[in-house]
Amino acid sequence: MNIAISNTSGTPIYQQLFEQISAQILKGELETGYSLPPIRQAATELRVSIITVKKAWEELERAGLIYTVTGKGCFIAELTPDEILQKRNDMILKQMVLDTAYYKSFGLTVEEVFELLKKVY
Amino acid sequence: MNIAISNTSGTPIYQQLFEQISAQILKGELETGYSLPPIRQAATELRVSIITVKKAWEELERAGLIYTVTGKGCFIAELTPDEILQKRNDMILKQMVLDTAYYKSFGLTVEEVFELLKKVY
DNA sequence: AAATTGTGTATAGTGGATATACACAATATA
DNA sequence: TATATTGTGTATATCCACTATACACAATTT
Q: How far is the CA of B89 from the C1' of C13 (A)?
A: 39
Q: Is ipTM > 0.85 here?
A: yes
| Interface contact flag, A119 B95, Cβ < 8 Å | no
pLDDT band per the 50, 70, 90 thresholds, residue B1: confident
Q: How far is the CA of B14 from the C1' of D11 (A)?
A: 35
**How many Cα atoms within 13 Å fall on the side-chain side of residue B48?**
20
| Interface contact flag, A96 B27, Cβ < 8 Å | no
Chain A positions with Cβ closer than 8 Å to B:
19-20, 22-23, 26-27, 88-89, 91-93, 95-97, 99-100, 102-108, 110, 113-114, 116-121
pLDDT tens digits, residue range B42-77? Answer: 999 999 999 999 999 999 999 999 999 999 999 999
Domain boundaries in chain B? 1-78, 80-121
The alpha-carbon gap from A47 to the nearest alpha carbon of chain B, in Å, equals 23
Classify B1-78 by CATH class: mainly alpha
Query: Domain A1-79, what architecture?
Result: Orthogonal Bundle (1.10)
pLDDT tens digits, residue range A99-121? Answer: 999 999 999 999 999 999 999 99
Q: How far is the CA of A54 from the C1' of D2 (A)?
A: 29
Counting one residue from A and one from B, how many pairs have CB atoms under 8 Å apart? 85
**How many Cα atoms within 13 Å fall on the side-chain side of residue B31?**
3
Mean pLDDT of the region A63-83: 93
Measure the CA–CA gap between A3 and A37, rounded to whole angstroms. Answer: 12
pLDDT tens digits, residue range A1-57? Answer: 899 999 889 999 999 999 999 999 999 898 777 789 999 999 999 999 999 999 999
Q: Check the CA dihedral B33-B91-B7-B53 and report its sign.
A: negative
